[in-house]
A and B are shown apart, each in its own frame.
Chain A
Amino acid sequence: MKLQDPRPGKWQLFRIWASVGLQSFGGGASTTFLIQRAFIEKHKWLSIEEFMRLWNLCILTPGINLVALTVLIGKKLGGPWGIVVSLAGMLLPSATITCLLTVAFKQIEHLAAVQAVLRGVIPATGGIMLLVGLNFALPLIRKGYKEGVLYLLGSSVIIIACALVVILLKLSVIIVVLSAAFLGALFFSSRSDAPLPVKEQGEEQ
């Protein structure tokens, strides 16, 4: 049995989350890593099994998975106040910096050099986003292989159909998500007795 540190005070919890938020550049992978290092390895407040269980709940929750994870860990370590200080620590410093960077950008956006740099950066974010989509798709495709050709084909058709109806028909995103849930319940329910594929950590972006 590992010895765990005494429960954190509010201020300590805030500081830990703030340092996680401020150190995570380039999205989810590094953030998940920092959370594991702080809460599992350093202070031993959570076991890895517990962490995975919380993470699976976050995948099922709307919005940013990492923010939901902040809520769950905050609640476990400090109750309602734990949630408040954890959210404040994770979001306020990094959101402030994001906002200030945008303010700075507004000041210099008219410069030709800035426009040129941005014309390079924007398509690059498109390429990175494509990888995010691929990371999301991989566990689904793997599951499709296991379940058979029809399952894989059905899954691919739904992915492409969702993309096309939004781009071409400008159909509302909510209608698309709800229809996909309905189709999923209709076509994929009987087959999957295996538990939900556990996403690899760090896929949340």
Chain B
Amino acid sequence: MINPLIYFLLFLKASLFSTGGFSNLPSLHQDLIANGWAKEVNFGQSIAIGQISPGPNGLWVISLGYLTYGYLGAFLALIAITIPALLVLVVSAGYARIEHRAWVRGAMHGVSLAVVGLLLTVVWTVLHQPGVDWAGLLIAAGAFGLAFSRKVNILIILGLAGLAGYLLYR
């Protein structure tokens, strides 16, 4: 059974220690899998749905919330990604005072590096979903290339990938 309070706190924690829409994934992945509250496939599914829905990319957790805990899960996930954003009010009040200290810059650089490393673990998690074989890795490489060119819309890339999946695995 899912404990709603702990479930919410796990989402809040992941969001508080992330920056950008996807860096909360490693933390959620660790905690929800450890509790048995999410299946491995839920992560790939919710990221895919998040990519095709409107709004900031960080809304993929709404989808993860619904897949793991129904409407309540989606609602708790929405609250959990809203609260940390309000901290920007605190940041804007306090940052002017400490931004020139050298250690603040150094620490921020360290955090930015960690964010890149954590995003690599997101890639790892997604490509280790059940059902991703060598053809899937080729699709991933193709999607990376098309997105890198910045000439093709993300929705078209996902559409092509879906078509490839349909033809390969149907």
Q: Tell me the minimal C-beta distance from A18 to chain B in angstroms.
A: 10
Which of A25, A63, A112, A179 is close to B19, meaning CB atoms less than 8 Å apart? A63
Interface size class of B (residues with CB under 8 A): 35 or more
Residue contact A28 to B21, C-beta cutoff 8 Å: yes
| B interface list, Cβ under 8 A from A | 13-22, 26-27, 30, 44-60, 62-63, 66-67, 71, 74, 78, 81-89, 91-92, 95, 102-124, 126-127, 129, 131-132, 136-137, 139-145, 147-148, 153-155, 157-158, 160-166, 168-170
A163 touches B (CB below 8 Å): yes
Which of A62, A83, A106, A158 is close to B87, meaning CB atoms less than 8 Å apart? A62
Q: Tell me the minimal C-beta distance from A70 to chain B in angstroms.
A: 7
**For chain B, what secondary structure do more than half of its interface residues adopt (helix, strand, loop), or is it mixed?**
helix
A25 to B143 Cα, complex, angstroms: 16
A148 touches B (CB below 8 Å): no
A11 touches B (CB below 8 Å): no
Contacts of A127 in B (CB 8 A): 139-145, 147
Binds B, one of A1-9, A37-45, A97-105: A97-105
Residue contact A120 to B30, C-beta cutoff 8 Å: no
Residue contact B123 to A126, C-beta cutoff 8 Å: yes
Residue contact A123 to B46, C-beta cutoff 8 Å: no
Which of B104, B121, B160 counts the most A-chain CB atoms under 10 A from its CB?
A: B121
Which of B114, B155, B164, B166 is close to A25, meaning CB atoms less than 8 Å apart? B155
Give the A-B pair count, Cβ closer than 8 A: 376
Interface string of A56-68 (1 = CB under 8 A from B): 0111111111111
Which of A61, A120, A137, A179 counts the most B-chain CB atoms under 10 A from its CB?
A: A120
Which of A65, A67, A68, A180 is close to B111, meaning CB atoms less than 8 Å apart? A180
Residue contact B44 to A128, C-beta cutoff 8 Å: no
**For chain A, what secondary structure do more than half of its interface residues adopt (helix, strand, loop), or is it mixed?**
helix
Given contacts A64-B21, A159-B117, contact A180 B110 (CB under 8 A): yes
A173 touches B (CB below 8 Å): yes
Contacts of B83 in A (CB 8 A): 63
Residue contact A121 to B165, C-beta cutoff 8 Å: yes
Residue contact B15 to A62, C-beta cutoff 8 Å: yes
- Taking CB atoms and an 8 Å cut-off, the chain A residues in 146-193 that contact chain B are 155, 158-163, 166-167, 170, 172-174, 176-177, 179-190, 192-193
A170 to B144 Cα, complex, angstroms: 26
9 other A-B residue contacts (CB within 8 Å) besides A102-B67, A192-B109: A102-B62, A122-B45, A128-B51, A166-B30, A170-B30, A173-B30, A185-B107, A192-B105, A204-B56
